[in-house]
Amino acid sequence: MSDEDDIILAELDDEELVQQMFDDLYDGLKEEIEEGVNILLSRGWAPYDVLTKALVGGMTIVGADFRDGILFVPEVLLAANAMKGGMFILKPLLAETGAPRVGKMVIGTVKGDIHDIGKNLVSMMMEGAGFEVVDLGINNAVDAYLEALEAEEPDILGMSALLTTTMPYMKVVIDTLVEQGKRDDYIVLVGGAPLNEEFGKAIGADAYCRDAAVAVETAKEWVGRKHNQMAG
Amino acid sequence: MTNALTKMLAERDWILADGATGTNLFNMGLMSGDAPELWNEQYPEKIKALYQSAVDAGSDLFLTNSFGGNASRLKLHNAQKRAHELSRMAAEIGRDVADSSGRTVIVAGSVGPTGDIMQPVGTLSHSDAVEIFHEQAEGLKAGGADVLWLETISAPEEYLAAAEAFKLADMLWVGTMSFDTAGRTMMGMTSAAMVEMVDKIDNSPLAFGANCGTGASDLLRTILGFSAQGSSTPIIAKGNAGIPKYVDGHIHYDGTPELMGQYACLARDCGAKIIGGCCGTMPEHLRAMRAALEGSSKSGSPSLEAIVAALGPFSSTGDGTEDNAPTARVTRRRRRIA
């Protein structure tokens, strides 16, 4: 244990540095995370390893504490911001090196609903877990979802609503997918303050996610299952 | 400074507030995504009917249709320049209804959150937030609101910005927060921390409390948390009529009038003085709440078990005020104080 001034990232060995990056993500320290990412890269780490071992590892801790009601939105936003600093460095390198993809998600708040704090949190946590996220923003009609699904070919469709009056629109989107025979092409996850598991089932979603951390866990589980099915 | 609400607070053991605004307006044909505040101009008779329904059901106080009537929310409907005007209209219609009721009914000018996250985490500056709230406060004041009613706030910074704005408008006010995340607000504030914050505000509110959130049980646990701090400021309880359920394409709150009657009495027993409903609370719920409050007297504070037995389980095991609440990771660089 040392005081703030005493930690010099470049002097830490790999294992200590990764541990320190977990701490720095937890504290939302963007510059320190960027420095940590650059140091690991300069030591010959593959970009994919920096992502999964340092950033995703750190965000997993943040996510667990968010899920357990220990951290709240402000801390998670700061951590996600720090993580984005690291991702900004890694993204082009990941593309160059053809690193494996965890999965891809198209996400948006449904038509009539203009709330996006929770949806943004899910986007950031999903990116923090290594997913590629296409964020459609607020107030999305069924066509906007369909176009994006067509263009992006994601594994997951995520829909968010804060209002009890807009949450039924999720069913409109799912029903349209069913009509067009596309429902089984995607994992459909739904979330938002007034929703619950019963509602998710009633409208035909694959799962309801209580918060951003649960969304990440659920996404990983379902994508894993989907890939296994395809392999089998 | 005294006014109708300070007088009522001094004279009465409890005050019945109103129920839902949104749920009622949607039943009147408001479409999801539309700004309810625009109805103050387009359909004033419907807004009047909404207020009147609360007054007829026995409410001593009702909130104006101005929850999203600030420039930041109205911007999403391209009506950002109309915050003052639409808020004034909301209060004017309310003033008429209250003045023709034949008894004292308080017009509380509803002020909801900006919807933006404040600096340093978010983008909204303190001075911009104060300006946004001030503009709406002046509109509500011009329309004849008795008090300002800040509600559904998550961030302490936003609560404080509104307090500052209401001082600029020279208006008395009350303010509630929404405790919907593991017993805390979305931004992590506990019931105990809110009392501590409220007690320090220079332009202190006439009453403070909780609204909306996750169901009536959780809300009462929050009220108990307020009471445990022993503040002398009156407490407000405005809980949802149960939990939203999806039935035949519509959202229905599962709390019956009878259950809300029980909730109202329990809220009083927990220490709340201003008692009302939030989402899903219709006039029939308000009638049952008034009858239940009139037909019984205050008893001792209920246990958490008694709340669960009457209103159903909590959404989280704790609310951050218990001694063994989980604490954050201790990091080397920036040590956290739990």
Q: What is the pLDDT of residue B132?
A: 98
The response to whether B270 counts as a known ligand-binding position is no
Enumerate the residues of chain A whose CB falls inside 8 A of the CB of residue B182.
68-69
Cβ contacts of A184 within 8 Å, gap of 6 or more: none
Q: Domain end: A43, A76, A97, which one?
A: A97
**pTM of this structure:** 0.89
Same domain, A49 and A137: no
Same domain, A8 and A55: yes
- Residue (of B161, B140, B174, B195) closest to B276 by Cα position: B174
Shortest CA gap B161–chain A (Å) = 17
| Polymer length in residues for chain B | 338
Q: Domain containing B276 — which CATH number?
A: 3.20.20.330
Give the pLDDT confidence of B324-333 residue by residue, as tens digits: 888 888 888 7
* pLDDT at B318 > cutoff 80: yes
Same domain, A182 and A80: no
Cβ distance of A68 and B326 shorter than 8 Å = yes
Enumerate the residues of chain A whose CB falls inside 8 A of the CB of residue B318.
69
Q: Sign of dihedral through CA atoms A186, A191, A196, A199?
A: negative
DSSP bridge partners of A104:
A132
Number of domains in chain A: 2
Inside any domain, residue B325: no
Q: What is the pLDDT of residue B1?
A: 66
Inside any domain, residue B187: yes
The pLDDT confidence band at residue A1, using thresholds 50, 70 and 90, is very low
* pLDDT at B142 > cutoff 60: yes
* pLDDT at B212 > cutoff 70: yes
Cβ contacts of B71 within 8 Å, gap of 6 or more: B80, B81, B83, B132, B135, B136
- Which of A88-102, B87-101, B151-165, B233-247 has the lowest average pLDDT? A88-102
Q: Which of B23, B251, B329 sits opposite A61 (nearest CB)?
A: B329
Give the C-alpha separation, B323 to B210, whole Å. 22
Q: What is the pLDDT of residue B147?
A: 98
Give the pLDDT confidence of A39-53 residue by residue, as tens digits: 999 999 999 999 999
Pure H helices in chain A: 14-26, 30-42, 47-49, 57-67, 73-97, 117-128, 142-152, 169-179, 197-203, 212-231
- Cα pseudo-dihedral B52, B57, B62, B67, rounded to 10: -80
Give the C-alpha separation, A52 to A58, whole Å. 9
Inside any domain, residue B208: yes
Same domain, A66 and A125: no
**For B7, phi and psi rounded to 5 degrees?**
-65, -45
The pLDDT confidence band at residue B304, using thresholds 50, 70 and 90, is very high
Cβ contacts of B167 within 8 Å, gap of 6 or more: B202, B203
Q: What is the pLDDT of residue A147?
A: 98
Give the pLDDT confidence of B56-91 residue by residue, as tens digits: 999 999 999 999 999 999 998 899 999 999 999 999
Under DSSP, the state recorded for A185 is G
- Which of A53-62, A93-102, A168-177, B2-11 has the lowest average pLDDT? A93-102
Same domain, A8 and A32: yes
What's the domain range around A163? 104-231
The response to whether B265 counts as a known ligand-binding position is no
| Contact between residue B111 and residue B150 where contact means Cβ atoms under 8 Å apart | yes
Give the pLDDT confidence of B243-280 residue by residue, as tens digits: 888 777 777 889 999 999 999 999 999 999 999 999 99
* pLDDT at A20 > cutoff 90: yes
Cβ contacts of B97 within 8 Å, gap of 6 or more: B48, B51, B52, B55, B62, B105, B107
Q: Give the mean model confidence (pLDDT) for residues A147-172.
A: 92
Same domain, A73 and A148: no
Inside any domain, residue B322: no
* pLDDT at A232 > cutoff 60: no
Q: Give the mean model confidence (pLDDT) for residues B116-132.
A: 94
Cβ contacts of A67 within 8 Å, gap of 6 or more: A211, A213, A214, A217
Closest residue in A to B325 (Cα–Cα): A70
Q: Domain end: A97, A118, A144, which one?
A: A97
Bigger pLDDT: B10 vs A232: B10
Q: What is the pLDDT of residue A5?
A: 58
DSSP bridge partners of A107:
A135, A158
Inside any domain, residue B332: no
Q: Domain containing A65 — which CATH number?
A: 1.10.1240.10
Cβ distance of A4 and B187 shorter than 8 Å = no
Q: Give the mean model confidence (pLDDT) for residues B156-168.
A: 98
Inside any domain, residue B326: no
Q: What is the mean pLDDT of chain B?
A: 94
- Number of Cβ atoms within 10 Å of the Cβ of A178: 12
- Which of A36-40, A82-86, A191-195 has the lowest average pLDDT? A191-195
What's the domain range around B271? 4-311
Mutate to test the interface with B, among A21, A60, A72 (most CBs of B within 10 A): A72
DSSP bridge partners of A106:
A134, A157
Same domain, A222 and A139: yes
- Number of Cβ atoms within 10 Å of the Cβ of A56: 20
Q: What is the pLDDT of residue B333?
A: 78
Cβ distance of B182 and A69 shorter than 8 Å = yes
Q: What is the pLDDT of residue B10?
A: 97
Same domain, A208 and A224: yes
Give the C-alpha separation, B291 to A133, whole Å. 52
* pLDDT at B152 > cutoff 50: yes
**For B260, phi and psi rounded to 5 degrees?**
-70, -30
- Number of Cβ atoms within 10 Å of the Cβ of A97: 11
Q: Give the mean model confidence (pLDDT) for residues B208-216.
A: 93
Inside any domain, residue B291: yes
Q: Domain containing A132 — which CATH number?
A: 3.40.50.280
Give the C-alpha separation, B325 to B49, whole Å. 46
Number of domains in chain B: 1
Shortest CA gap A216–chain B (Å) = 18
* pLDDT at B338 > cutoff 70: no
Give the C-alpha separation, B270 to B264, whole Å. 10
Give the C-alpha separation, A145 to B254, whole Å. 31
Q: What is the pLDDT of residue A231?
A: 63
Give the pLDDT confidence of A101-131 residue by residue, as tens digits: 889 999 999 988 778 888 998 998 899 888 9
Enumerate the residues of chain A whose CB falls inside 8 A of the CB of residue B122.
77
Question: Which residue's structure tokens are 């449904």?
Answer: A110
3-class SS letters over chain B: CCCHHHHHHHHCCCEECCCCCHHHHHHCCCCCCCCHHHHHHHCHHHHHHHHHHHHHCCCCEEECCCCCCCHHHHHHHCCHHHHHHHHHHHHHHHHHHHHCCCCCCEEEEEECCCCCCECCCCCECHHHHHHHHHHHHHHHHHCCCCEEEEEEECCHHHHHHHHHHHHHCCCCEEEEECCCECCECCCCCCHHHHHHHHHHCCCCCCEEEEEECCCHHHHHHHHHHHHHCCCCCCEEEEECCCCEEEECCEEEECCCHHHHHHHHHHHHHHCCCEEEECCCCCHHHHHHHHHHHHCCCCCCCCCHHHHHHHHCCCCCCCCCCCCCCCCCCCCCCCCCCC
The pLDDT confidence band at residue B197, using thresholds 50, 70 and 90, is very high
Question: Which residue's structure tokens are 């866990």?
Answer: A217
Q: Give the mean model confidence (pLDDT) for residues A202-214.
A: 94
Q: Domain end: A52, A71, A97, which one?
A: A97
Same domain, A69 and A148: no
Q: Give the mean model confidence (pLDDT) for residues B105-120.
A: 95
